[in-house]
């Protein structure tokens, strides 16, 4: 597939390459598309995310807190579970 890029967008691509964030124009475009996908996911799940944040604040208000060690252990387990479920173990 061939895609023509507007001059102002080409400036952004070149800047990303010059700054060393990406090694090719294809990587820049791929990252932009993945970012757009993530933004769509955020928009589609905005209420759920907000509800989780509200519940977290409510838990803090009730004194339901984790120690730093508990938080790190819980996040490590969540990461390991995600990696297993997504074939990245």
> Would you say residue 5 lies in a domain?
no
> Would you say residue 1 lies in a domain?
no
pLDDT tens series, the chain, 89 aa: 888 999 999 999 999 999 999 999 999 999 999 999 999 999 999 999 999 999 999 999 999 999 999 999 999 999 999 999 998 76
> Would you say residue 68 lies in a domain?
yes
> Would you say residue 46 lies in a domain?
yes
CB proximity list for 49: less than 8 A, separation 6 or greater: 42
> Would you say residue 58 lies in a domain?
yes
Total number of domains in the chain: 1
> Would you say residue 10 lies in a domain?
no
> Would you say residue 17 lies in a domain?
no
> Would you say residue 12 lies in a domain?
no
Residue 53 and residue 46 in contact, taking contact as beta carbons nearer than 8 Å: no
Residue 19 and residue 11 in contact, taking contact as beta carbons nearer than 8 Å: no
Domain that holds residue 50: 23-85
Query: From the centroid of its chain, how far is CA 83?
Result: 15
């Amino acid at each position: 597939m061939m895609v023509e890029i507007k001059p102002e967008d080409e400036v952004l691509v070149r800047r990303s390459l010059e700054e060393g964030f990406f090694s090719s124009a294809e990587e820049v475009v791929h990252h932009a598309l993945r970012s757009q996908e993530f933004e769509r996911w955020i928009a589609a799940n905005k209420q759920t995310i907000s509800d989780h944040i509200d519940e977290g604040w409510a838990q803090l208000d009730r004194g339901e807190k984790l120690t730093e060690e508990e938080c790190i252990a819980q996040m490590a387990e969540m990461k390991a579970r995600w990696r297993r479920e997504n074939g990245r173990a």
